[in-house]
A = this chain, B = another copy of it.
Amino acid sequence: MSNKKISTRAEDYSQWYNDLVIRGNLADHSSVRGCMVIKPHGYAIWENMRDALDKMFKDTGHVNAYFPLFVPKSLFEAEEKNAEGFAKECAIVTHYRLKNDPNNKGKLIVDPEAKLEEELIVRPTSEAIIWNTYKNWIQSYRDLPLLINQWANVVRWEMRTRLFLRTAEFLWQEGHTAHSTAQEAIEETLKMVDVYETFVRDYMAMPVFKGVKPEHEKFAGAEDTYTIEAMTQDKQAIQAGTSHYLGQNFAKAFEVKFQNKEGAEEYVYATSWGVSTRLIGTLIMVHSDDEGLVLPPKLAPVQVVIIPLFSKDEAVNNILLDKAYELSKNLKAKNIKVKVDADDSKRPGFKFAEYELQGMPVRVVVGPRDLEQGKLEICRRDTKEKYLSDLSNIEEHIITLLDEIQTNLYNRALKFRDENTFEVNNYDALKDVILNKGGFAIADWDGNVATAEAIKTETKATIRCILEDIQDESRICVYSKEKAKHKVIYALNY
């Protein structure tokens, strides 16, 4: 924990992000190319996300299971589009033994005699291994639906990596469901993107746009990909979660059929959906500021930090400590996550800066003079507002304040998102948003990939999602002037 200042957003947004991840103790680079170490503070946020999501999945009828890390190459390539989508970024296991290097004592080499007959792909996603398993589990409509989720690590050999946002290995959950009708599978797909929208709103305090990806941007192997897209503080889009309707593509690739109620054989319908540790990066990008992380109370590993202002008078210090621990105990009894920092080797100012950096939502300072007056100093992380609060109702006040901070973060992000989202009627206006103002441009699109590609080439903006289909014959595409098919969001993106 050096005193080196972190970069500001205005100076260098990208460096600011990186500083926050490292200095905020969320993650660290590792000695494995593109892989990160998730540090305790970062992992605790992930645990909070996981627990909240897991409950939402279970409340909607899903159960967890665990499937193998490795996918044999022959299974990996079975669903061709999916295979094509991931083939270029796979970690591949080819051997299963090391042996002593005969030329270099104490060193090991790969044993050439321990070559696998069939290479194993470290899962970049688990549709292949899971649908090859479902084949054995599904015979009749009575076995359906299968509503299974997995919490796991996956590996995608990305060339340009960034802590949390794009790493070679990341943690995620992947739901894989099997259904007897297309309609039921589509309903599941929509239900899960709604679960994600609710989660990011209620826990991450993040507003998102929800919609379907255009054909050319969908998941490899899907019929339709639904997405939620958030806006970062540098006014770019960041995909926060996706839910895929996979139709019968995987059932056909893995020959997964069921006998329907009428006794006829049919291919099974599938969905898959996932969110990952990328959400931690998204959280930073949306809420944090130049002083450090700003964590929504509902996901903060420590919601309230209590700091006694030590003096040279041991007796006074003991009173401060007693008060700090009493408050801590009372808050814990109300399920608030509290930390008392009783370390007397560090100055208060150092502590304040450190906790600001790490994003603790509420700081309570127990000072001798305030305490004499029956008050404690409260500082909220979101607004950095400081004030004295009466001891008499301090617990209730803090609980209300945590809710208020949660709400304020959402409203602030929503206001920012709305202020930087523009409905545009012509291409000049679209370019002005993307190239000058920054933000999301909502515009009508003719549905042609060529149009999307041309706009991407000229502005780097991509279509983030389709907001609605257009029936009105009179509306035209901002670029081609052809008849518009969809109202979409254009934005630069992470």
Contact = CB atoms under 8 A, between A and B. Distances in A.
Contact of A80 (B35, B106, B122): B106
A71 interface: yes
B129 A32 contact: yes
A281 to B, nearest CB: 15
A39 interface: yes
Interface stretch (A89-97, A412-420, A451-459): A89-97
B83 A36 contact: no
Interface string A17-59: 0000000000010111001111110111011000000000000
Interface string A82-121: 0100011111111111111000001110100000000111
Contacts of A345: 142
A63 interface: yes
Given A95-B94, A97-B87, A67 B108 contact: no
A93 B98 CA distance: 12
Contacts of A65: 37-40, 42-43
B32 A70 contact: yes
B30 A129 contact: yes
B98 A88 contact: yes
Contacts of A44: 63-64
A41 to B, nearest CB: 9
A422 interface: no
A75 B142 CA distance: 51
Interface string A372-395: 000000000000000000000000
A287 B107 CA distance: 45
A68 interface: yes
Contacts of A99: 87-88
A362 to B, nearest CB: 21
A335 interface: no
A3 interface: no
Interface in A418-443: none
Contact of A32 (B68, B90, B106, B155): B68
A309 to B, nearest CB: 21
A157 interface: yes
The contact size tier of chain A is: 35 or more
Interface secondary structure of A, over-half rule: mixed
Contacts of A110: 92, 94, 119
A32 B91 CA distance: 16
Given A73-B108, A98-B121, A157-B97, A133 B87 contact: no
A76 interface: yes
Nearest to A301: B63
Counting chain B CB atoms within 10 Å of each CB, the highest count among A36, A47, A80, A108 belongs to A108
Interface string A216-251: 000000000000000000000000000000000000
B133 A28 contact: yes
A367 interface: no
A83 B108 contact: yes
A350 interface: no
A136 interface: yes
A66 B170 CA distance: 10
B77 A133 contact: no
Given A30-B129, A120-B32, A68 B148 contact: no
A171 interface: yes
Contacts of A70: 32, 35, 91, 169
A72 interface: yes
Contacts of A47: 64
A129 B95 CA distance: 20
Interface in A312-338: none
Contacts of A46: 66
Contacts of A371: none
Given A37-B68, A108-B83, A169-B68, A133 B91 contact: no
A377 B119 CA distance: 55
A91 B73 CA distance: 15
B93 A93 contact: yes
Contacts of A67: 30, 37-38
A144 interface: no
3 closest cross-chain pairs (CB), A and B = A35-B68, A40-B63, A38-B66
Given A76-B108, A83-B98, A93-B93, 8 more contacts: A31-B129, A31-B132, A35-B69, A40-B65, A77-B106, A92-B96, A94-B95, A110-B119
17 contacts: A28-B136, A30-B129, A37-B66, A38-B66, A40-B63, A40-B65, A40-B148, A43-B64, A44-B63, A69-B169, A83-B98, A87-B100, A91-B96, A91-B120, A92-B95, A93-B122, A94-B95
